Structure 1
Amino acid sequence: MDIDAFIAAHRPAWDRLEHLIARRRTLTGAEIDELVELYQRVSTHLSIVRSASTDGILVGRLSALVARARSAVTGAHVPAWRELARFFTVSFPVVAYRARWWWLGTTVAFVALAWIMGAWVAGSPEVQNAVASPEEITQLVEHDFADYYSENPAASFASRVWINNAWVSALMLVGAIFAGIPIPYFLFQNAANVGISGGLMASRGKLDIFFGLITPHGLLELAAVFLAAAVGLRLGWTVVDPGPRRRTEALAEQGRAVMAVALGLVVALFVSGLIEAFVTPSGLPTWARIAIGVLALVAFLGYVGVYGHRAARDQETGDLERAPDVAPTA
Structure 2
Amino acid sequence: MDLDAYVAEHGGQWRRLEHLVDRARLDAAEVDELVVLYQRVSTHLSVLRSRSPDPALVSQLSQLVLRARARLTVRPRASWAAVGRFLLVGFPGAVWRAWPWWCAVATGFTVLSFALIWFVADNPDAVPALVGEEAAAHLVESGFAGYYTEFSAPTFAFHLWTHNAWLAAQCLAAGVLIVPVGYLLWQNALNIGVVGGVMVAYGRADVFFGLITPHGLLELTGVFVAAGVGLRIGWSWIAPPAQLSRGAAVARAGRDGIVVAVGLVGVFAVSALVEAFVTPAAVPVPLRVAVGAAVWVAFLTYVVVLGRRAPGPADHDGADVLDPVSAR
TM normalised by structure 1 equals 0.74
- Identify which of 10, 16, 27 aligns with 1:64: 27
Q: 1:49 to 1:130 in 2, by over 3 A?
A: same
Conserved 8 A contact 1:98-1:312: no
Structure 1 residue runs of 5 or longer lacking an equivalent are 1-47, 71-76, 324-330
Does structure 1 conserve the Cα–Cα contact (< 8 Å) formed by 2:90 and 2:321?
no
Give 1:185's match in structure 2, choosing from 175, 183, 186.
183
1:181–1:236 Cα contact (<8 Å) kept: no
User: Per-residue displacement from partner, 1:296-315 (whole Å, max 9, x unpaired)?
Assistant: 10000011111101114796
- Indicate the residue corresponding to 1:197 in structure 2: 195
How far the C-alpha of 1:64 sits from its partner, in A, is 3.3
Distance in 2 of aligned mates of 1:313 and 1:95 = 9
Q: Secondary structure at the match of 2:282?
A: coil
SS of residue matched to 1:101: helix
More deviation, 126-135/192-201: 126-135
Matches within 5 A, 1:124-143: 124-143=123-142
CA drift of 1:317 comes to 5.2
Aligned to 2:162: 163
Structure 2: distance between partners of 1:52 and 1:196: 75
More displaced, 158-167 or 217-226?
158-167
Q: Which amino acid aligns with 2:109?
A: F
* Residues in 2 aligned to 1:53 and 1:162: alpha-carbon distance in whole angstroms: 53
Which amino acid letter does the alignment assign opposite residue 141 of structure 1?
A: V
- Equivalent pair of 2:172/2:261 in contact (CA under 8 Å): yes
The residue aligned with 1:295 is 294
Task: State whether residues 117 and 199 of structure 1, in contact with CA within 8 Å, keep that contact through their aligned partners in structure 2.
Answer: yes
The answer to whether the Cα contact below 8 Å between 2:153 and 2:277 also exists between their aligned partners in 1 is: yes
Query: Contact 2:259–2:321 at 8 Å: present in 1 too?
Result: no
**Higher RCO (CA-CA < 8 Å; seq separation 6+):** 2
Alpha-carbon contact 1:94-1:318 (below 8 Å) kept: no
Distance in 2 of aligned mates of 1:101 and 1:269 = 21
Deviations 1:93-130 (Å, cap 9, x if unpaired)?
10100001101100000000001111111111232121
Q: CA deviation at 1:284?
A: 1.2
Q: CA shift at 1:319, angstroms?
A: 1.7
Instruction: Please tell me whether residue 215 in structure 1 is matched to residue 216 in structure 2.
Output: no
RMSD, aligned α-carbons: 2.9
**How much does 1:322 deviate?**
9.8
**Alignment check: 8 A CA contact 1:90 1:316 kept:** no
Aligned equivalent of 1:148 = 147
Mapped to 2, the partners of 1:208 and 1:264 lie a distance apart of 33
Pick closer, same or farther for the CA change 1:283–1:250 going to 2, 3 Å.
same
Q: Does 1:283 align with 2:246?
A: no
Instruction: Give TM-score, length-normalised by structure 2.
Output: 0.75
1:234 matched residue in structure 2: 232
- Which residue identity does 1:66 align to in structure 2? A
Percent pairwise identity: 39
- Alignment map for 1:73-152 (pairs within 5 Å): 80-152=79-151
- Report the secondary structure of 2:27's partner residue: helix
Structure 1 residues 159 and 65, CA gap change in structure 2 (3 angstroms): closer
Judged with a 3 Å threshold, the aligned counterparts in structure 2 of structure 1 residues 64 and 182 are, in CA distance, closer, same or farther, namely same
**Distance in 2 between residues matched to 1:93 and 1:69, nearest whole Å:** 40
Deviation at 1:68, TM superposition (A): 6.4
Q: How many correspondences in the alignment?
A: 268
Moved more, 246-255 or 235-244: 246-255
Which residue of structure 2 aligns with residue 35 of structure 1?
none
